[in-house]
């Protein structure tokens, strides 16, 4: 009986060891759609031996998943840079980056330093830049003359626009009103007053909104069909539409496009840091970054990757962002704790308004 129990115990230990080894060779990636194209994943696996399990998500869901598990379940996540310092301070869902394992020479220096600064908590860096882009206006130039976010609410656009009931819309409307919401991040009372003011504007604007969009397909279909003449949306969506209809253009608003950077961040209870660092360094190689950029439709923080991008995308970028518009991008800073609660209450009120 003792020998049987010994054999069972040994078999159990061998199975457990095999399972642990399999986990060591797997990277569990929590990312955005288009950021881990099949070709890139297959090449990574071929070069390193690591398999990649991809879960697509968005900022809100990433934070929710990691908060619910105290940072477990994934080895690498890709939240936007403004969504790291606040959640880390509140929930401790990430672990500090070991910069000695990062090939920093692969990054655009200015973008690397800015993102490190925005994701530093108590002296430690928690995020590195990957994909970047902007939110602004997509306009059918034959039927709309919109040049700024406030034009979404202009009488001539009644029933013909779309936007999201999310925080970027409140922030965009603030800039279009001549206010700088980011300057009020550390003054919750003043920020709440500004958000209430913007909430009132959005309630008055409801008659202009054909629908509040939640998904990419719904929004793109609305513009393609002519149902919408103007929408607040991301740059790559506008460039995609422009390929089929040259009259549809992504416009950097007069008050400034809103700039975002999606990062690499390591969850607090990730099991495979080595695979995470390997994926980061692999993705920042210019030839790999160009492939990812082609899939995502955005530019990356990889030094030299822009020279390998599709010519059409480079042309569209130059048209949407002349030098003045590029300098006027309003980059999202880190979101302090409590700010999103203020915004959430205002957005709920806008949603409920008739």
Query: pLDDT digits over 88-121, tens only?
Result: 999 999 999 999 999 999 999 999 999 999 999 9
Distance from C-alpha of 237 to C-alpha of 234, rounded to nearest angstrom: 6
Locate tokens 């390193």: which residue?
A: 48
pLDDT score at 2: 46
342 phi/psi in degrees, rounded to 5: -60, -50
pLDDT score at 315: 92
The conformational region for residue 102 under phi > 0 = left, psi -120 to 50 = alpha, else beta, is beta
Q: Crossing angle of helices 339-352/167-176, nearest 10°?
A: 90
Distance from C-alpha of 150 to C-alpha of 85, rounded to nearest angstrom: 30
- What would the mean pLDDT of 154-178 be, rounded to a whole number? 97
* Local structure of residue 342 (DSSP, 8 states): H
- What would the mean pLDDT of 309-314 be, rounded to a whole number? 88
Sorted by where each begins, the domain ranges of the chain are: 2-132+260-322, 133-258+329-352
Of 78, 72, 71, 75, nearest in space to 94 by CA: 71
In sequence order, the β-bridge partners of residue 249 are 139
Mean of the per-residue pLDDT values of the chain = 93
- Give the pairing type, strands 26-31 and 51-56: parallel
Same CATH fold assignment for domains 2-132+260-322 and 133-258+329-352 = yes
- What would the mean pLDDT of 314-330 be, rounded to a whole number? 92
pLDDT score at 9: 54
pLDDT score at 354: 82
Confidence of residue 28 (pLDDT cuts 50, 70, 90): very high
Helix (H) or strand (E) holding 40: helix 38-48
Of 18, 308, 284, 261, nearest in space to 129 by CA: 261
Confidence of residue 134 (pLDDT cuts 50, 70, 90): very high
Confidence of residue 19 (pLDDT cuts 50, 70, 90): very low
Please say if the pLDDT value at position 33 is more than 70.
yes
Q: Determine how many CB atoms are found less than 10 A away from the CB of residue 84.
A: 26
Task: Please say whether the beta carbons of 110 and 279 come within 8 A.
Answer: no
Q: Which two tokens stand for residue 31?
A: 């990312």
With respect to CATH, is domain 2-132+260-322 assigned 3.40.190.10?
yes
- What would the mean pLDDT of 252-261 be, rounded to a whole number? 97
Task: CATH number for 133-258+329-352: choose from 3.40.190.10, 3.40.50.300, 3.40.50.150, 3.40.50.620.
Answer: 3.40.190.10
């Amino acid at each position: 009986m003792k020998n049987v129990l010994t054999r069972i115990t040994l078999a159990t230990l061998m199975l457990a060891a095999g399972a642990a080894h399999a986990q060591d060779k797997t990277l569990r990636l929590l990312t955005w759609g288009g950021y881990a194209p099949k070709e890139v994943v297959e090449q990574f696996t071929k070069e390193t031996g690591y398999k990649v399990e991809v879960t697509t998500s968005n900022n809100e869901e990433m934070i929710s998943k990691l908060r619910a598990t105290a940072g477990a379940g994934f080895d690498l996540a890709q939240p936007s840079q403004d969504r790291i310092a606040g959640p880390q301070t509140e929930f401790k869902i990430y672990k500090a980056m070991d910069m000695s394992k990062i090939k920093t020479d692969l990054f655009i220096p200015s973008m690397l330093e800015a993102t490190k600064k925005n994701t530093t908590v108590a002296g430690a860096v928690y995020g590195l830049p990957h994909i970047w882009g902007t939110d602004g206006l997509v306009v059918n130039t034959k039927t709309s003359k919109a040049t700024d976010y406030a034009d979404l609410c202009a009488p001539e656009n009644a029933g013909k626009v779309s936007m999201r009931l999310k925080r970027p819309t409140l922030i965009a409307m603030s800039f279009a009103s001549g206010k700088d919401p980011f300057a009020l991040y550390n003054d919750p009372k003043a920020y709440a007053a500004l958000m209430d003011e913007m909430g009132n504007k959005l309630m008055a604007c409801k008659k202009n909104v054909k629908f509040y969009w939640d998904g990419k397909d719904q929004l793109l279909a609305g513009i393609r069909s002519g149902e919408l003449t103007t929408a607040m949306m991301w740059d790559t969506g506008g460039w995609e539409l422009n390929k089929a209809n040259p009259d549809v253009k992504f416009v950097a608003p007069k008050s400034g496009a809103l700039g975002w950077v999606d990062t690499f961040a390591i969850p607090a209870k990730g099991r495979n840091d080595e695979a995470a660092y390997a994926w980061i360094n692999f993705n920042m190689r210019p030839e790999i970054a160009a492939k990812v950029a082609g899939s995502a439709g955005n530019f990356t923080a990889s030094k030299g990757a822009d020279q390998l991008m599709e010519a059409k995308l480079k042309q569209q970028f130059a048209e949407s962002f002349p030098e003045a518009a590029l300098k006027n991008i309003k980059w999202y800073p880190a979101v302090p704790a409590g700010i999103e609660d203020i915004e959430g209450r205002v957005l709920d009120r806008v949603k409920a308004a008739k």
